[in-house]
Structure 1
């Protein structure tokens, strides 16, 4: 048909799967925090509520920080990406040890609730990020630019 041009669909950016992973992970973390806080409160009262909130915060931030640092460093040189990921991992370990060490001597929270929700947040947020990456369409083959031949 004269005058009709075909416009190919836009190619998603290379960071689209990572952005999708972070988005799915945040949504899963919010849902988990709300549901686990309600259930833990009904089972163990206020200590259960605090345990669930602390567990979802520590576990969710632990996983989401990795995805966010990969997203942030996606366009950096490979050695810089490695340094960012290693530094982020060390920082996360240090923060987790300090937070759990501080909480060790306190009794305002339920330890079983914290442990169960921490484990659940690690699994659920990681699973949600995986679903986010798998649902995102992204090219995995780069075509070389044409030189007009």
Structure 2
């Protein structure tokens, strides 16, 4: 009678999950550093261009950029190792929540004049584009096995 040998599949799955989490941690860290830099730069430039209104625009833009970018990465981190359907459900659910938050924030800010809309837009746009590029860099440089020998 032979003793069954344990399958290497759980070890490979654990290695893959660990590698995926490392890529997502790097993307989250880099994104938060980007948003911090945008906050400082946006506040300085906004203050020079529009005074207090520019500062408020930069603060709101950086907060929205941090919320949008970090929640996407967070939802991916929470769903690592789960089924593709569960991952899609969580990512789509957070995307819908982000759209609702954006609509609510824009509705609240619609009539307000204490912030500079252009500074808010530029900081938010740079945060979104920069975060996408950083996510791409993290995935491109990640060592996640996608083929099992």
Q: Report if TM-score (shorter chain) is over 0.5.
A: yes
Tell me if structure 1 keeps the 8 A contact 2:19–2:142: no
In structure 2, what is the equivalent of residue 105 of structure 1?
Answer: 111
Structure 2 gap segments, 5+ residues each: 1-14
In structure 1, what is the equivalent of residue 22 of structure 2?
Answer: 16
Aligned residues: 133
How far does residue 140 in structure 1 lie from its aligned partner after superposition?
2.8
CA offset digits 1:118-145 (Å, max 9, x no partner): 11111112212222222233333223xx
In structure 2, what is the equivalent of residue 25 of structure 1?
Answer: 31
In structure 2, what is the equivalent of residue 115 of structure 1?
Answer: 121
Higher relative contact order (CA 8 A, sep 6+): 1
In structure 2, what is the equivalent of residue 49 of structure 1?
Answer: 55
In structure 2, what is the equivalent of residue 130 of structure 1?
Answer: 136
CA offset digits 1:48-67 (Å, max 9, x no partner): 00001101111232122111
What value does the CA root-mean-square deviation take over the aligned residues? 1.5
TM-score of the pair, normalised by structure 1 = 0.82
Q: 1:72 aligns with which of 75, 78, 81?
A: 78
Structure 1 gap segments, 5+ residues each: 1-10, 144-149
TM-score of the pair, normalised by structure 2 = 0.82
Partners of 1:102 and 1:67 in 2: CA distance: 26
